[in-house]
Amino acid sequence: MVFDFFFKSISRHIKLTDEEIELTKPVLRHKKLRKRQYLLQAGDVCKVETFVIKGCLRAYTVDDKGHEHIAMFAIEGWWISDFYSLLTGSEASQNIDALEDSEVFCIEKTDLENLYLQVPKFERLFRILLQNAFVAHQQRILAGISQTAEERYKSFIGKYPTIEQRVPQHQIASYLGITPETISRIRKLR
Amino acid sequence: MVFDFFFKSISRHIKLTDEEIELTKPVLRHKKLRKRQYLLQAGDVCKVETFVIKGCLRAYTVDDKGHEHIAMFAIEGWWISDFYSLLTGSEASQNIDALEDSEVFCIEKTDLENLYLQVPKFERLFRILLQNAFVAHQQRILAGISQTAEERYKSFIGKYPTIEQRVPQHQIASYLGITPETISRIRKLR
DNA sequence: AAATGATCTTGATGTAGATCAATAAAGTAA
DNA sequence: TTACTTTATTGATCTACATCAAGATCATTT
């Protein structure tokens, strides 16, 4: 059953009763995405928070020179959205698309807000997830301002070996703020 | 009264009843810091989340070459801690100190966790603050991987004019991941 | 008031990593 | 099977920014 992975995932942080599980199911919209398919395009408004059941997605901006800059990857068990757009209702600056054939659950913003009230444990869940994101973000920022390209690349591999194996190197380059050529050269020297 | 600024600040996000305010007051430990005084030193465990009433603090790491890298500033109304250390109880990698004579409220981790249960609105408050931090962090990350030193500096000035006026330029350089010399040169060309 | 330290500026030089370009290899589609 | 696209590699060159060093200005302490 598609729900199983979702509830097993969140059980790491909150324990739901059977009734709470039943309250939650209706707000989860199951969706399949083919490789390269957009979940969100810059300029549209991001209406949903998305949980990845299977596959791999990315959120990224495109600058005026046409270069992509990856804000985040999301694999099984992770959440993804253009959070600013979702929060404020403004146009998304980020695109989100699938790097592999994927399956996700989408939750409408309003449904999520109702869920916070009906099942306050979700308020706790998202606080915890946001706490973890805070730490990860801060480490990424500090890495960006204090480490060399090589250090950041090696640390990425150490932290996210799964992602490194699944996504093309130039995507990782774009996440780290370096060029694919530089990654290639780092790899050559062992 | 020192409490006033605190409750006025958080009222932007949550409305507390008088009873809830009285429940909250006892966990706020008022503290004065002199310029350069440490609130936390790397290696110690961060036990408190801190609200800035007055003044300006910074959280930063020091690398093996002795260079400082500023994770965040905090002025009036902002919160600061080594969040990873606070969360996990591990040794702090960050130092926190005062850039000006300052006044703060410290909340013990355990007190905060009790507060989440006694006054669930605090769960909501911190979820909201963490949401805002998420957005700010992501913007800072994308700036770091997609913009030049000049673009990041100008955008910093636009976003945090107060901090730019209060804090020495080399601190801002250290926050942006550039050298003080480069900032000086950027400023010279208008 | 003198002394010490912090901050900012300016110039000379060095370098990590970007850019550009060409090729090869691997995937995917017709 | 061929054709087309995506991905990775390698070399040559360029540049944004760091590093090093010296001097000037400003603030803080005694």
Distance from chain centroid for Cα A38:
14
- As a whole number of angstroms, the distance between CA B82 and CA A139 comes to 11
In terms of pLDDT, which residue wins out, A190 or B65?
B65
> Is the minimum distance from the CB of A143 to strand C below 7 Å?
no
Report pLDDT digits (tens) over B88-147.
999 999 999 999 999 999 999 999 999 999 999 999 999 999 999 999 999 999 999 999
Report pLDDT digits (tens) over A58-101.
999 999 888 999 999 999 999 999 999 999 999 999 999 999 99
- As a whole number of angstroms, the distance between CA A38 and CA A31 comes to 12
Nucleotides of D under 7 A from a protein CB: 6-12, 16-21
E-only strand ranges, chain B: 29-33, 38-40, 48-54, 56-62, 68-75, 79-80, 95-98, 102-108
From the CA of B169, how many Å to the C1' of D26? 14
Report pLDDT digits (tens) over A115-161.
999 999 999 999 999 999 999 999 999 999 999 999 999 999 999 99
Q: Which domains does chain B have, with CATH numbers?
A: 2-119 (2.60.120.10)
From the CA of B36, how many Å to the C1' of D30? 19
Chain B contact set for A72 (CB, 8 A): 138
Mean residue pLDDT of chain A comes to 96
Chain B contact set for A69 (CB, 8 A): 142, 145-146
pLDDT over 70 (residue A190): no
pLDDT score recorded for residue B189: 82
Report pLDDT digits (tens) over A7-49.
999 999 999 999 999 999 999 999 999 999 999 999 999 999 9
Chain B contact set for A177 (CB, 8 A): 144-146
In this complex, which residue's CA is closest to the C1' atom of nucleotide D6? A168
> Which helix (H) or strand (E) covers residue A110, if one does?
helix A109-118
Report pLDDT digits (tens) over B140-154.
999 999 999 999 999
pLDDT score recorded for residue A189: 82
Distance from chain centroid for Cα A96:
9
Query: What's the pLDDT band for B190 if we cut at 50, 70, 90?
Result: low
pLDDT score recorded for residue B47: 98
- As a whole number of angstroms, the distance between CA A85 and CA A68 comes to 19
Chain B contact set for A61 (CB, 8 A): 142, 146
Average pLDDT of span B67-77: 97
CB of B74 within 8 A of CB of B52? Answer: yes
pLDDT score recorded for residue A2: 87
Average pLDDT of span B4-9: 98
pLDDT score recorded for residue A38: 96
Closest residue in A to B67 (Cα–Cα): A146
Hey, of B68, B73, B109, B142, which one would you mutate to test binding to chain A, going by the most A CBs within 10 A of its CB? B142
pLDDT score recorded for residue B53: 97
Contact flag B131-A177 (C-beta cutoff 8 Å): no
Task: Provide the 10 A C-beta neighbour count for residue A148.
Answer: 11
CB of A38 within 8 A of CB of A139? Answer: no
